[in-house]
Chains A and B, each alone.
Chain A
Amino acid sequence: SAVISQKPSRDICQRGTSLTIQCQVDSQVTMMFWYRQQPGQSLTLIATANQGSEATYESGFVIDKFPISRPNLTFSTLTVSNMSPEDSSIYLCSVEDGDRPVEQYFGPGTRLTVT
């Protein structure tokens, strides 16, 4: 399975600022996904990012708030813009396994606290 790393692992940010989260994969993958896990909650898909095209956002998430870049087949970034305490969550990226495309593998997550 793919090995996925995220930076930063955690951060504490002030209201109104923005944070960019990086996701790096050790192999080339077509599809990358960004999820949010609010405290004590399950995972919710924010968007799907394919290399060379605009990210596809799920209902309730918009590009202005969560801009995503996907410059190549091993890297993606998610920015959380104009943060408020409600954005305090764990943000996880995941990828589909190239050999077993039905399966998704997850990074360790970025724990964000907004004060």
Chain B
Amino acid sequence: AQSVTQLDSQVPVFEEAPVELRCNYSSSVSVYLFWYVQYPNQGLQLLLKYLSGSTLVKGINGFEAEFNKSQTSFHLRKPSVHIRDTAEYFCAVRENNNAGNMLTFGGGTRLMVKP
């Protein structure tokens, strides 16, 4: 069974500073990886995804993530954050097989951007 660990429950950062939100996963098969963002009182929005190919994937709002198979990680980065990036960020994994469509989510990281 797959599992996802987001190492930081909260990340405070000043506006215009760079940020990295860490995600590690565990799975016995190859996986698809996702980052979702949840703004206050809203549903989840897909930020970016890794399905195959280039390990560096770019998403919306200036975010990018790098898939590292050897370290089983998929860390999310942004070179310069804005106040509007304040939100909850979820890493999710889905196994690349025909066993089902289940997404497993990490515990979430609350990004708090301060002026």
Q: Which residues of A contact B (CB under 8 A)?
A: 1, 4, 31, 33, 41-45, 48, 58, 92, 94, 96, 101-109, 111
Contact = CB atoms under 8 A, between A and B. Distances in A.
Nearest to B91: A42
B106 A42 contact: yes
Given A48-B101, A102-B51, A109 B107 contact: no
A106 B101 contact: no
Contacts, number: 49
Nearest to B108: A42
Interface in B32-79: 32, 34, 36, 41-46, 49, 51
B43 A109 contact: yes
Interface string B73-115: 0000000000000000010001000001111011110000000
B39 to A, nearest CB: 10
A108 B45 CA distance: 9
Residue in A1, A31, A104 with the greatest tally of chain B CB atoms within 10 Å: A104
B32 A102 contact: yes
Contacts of A41: 107-108
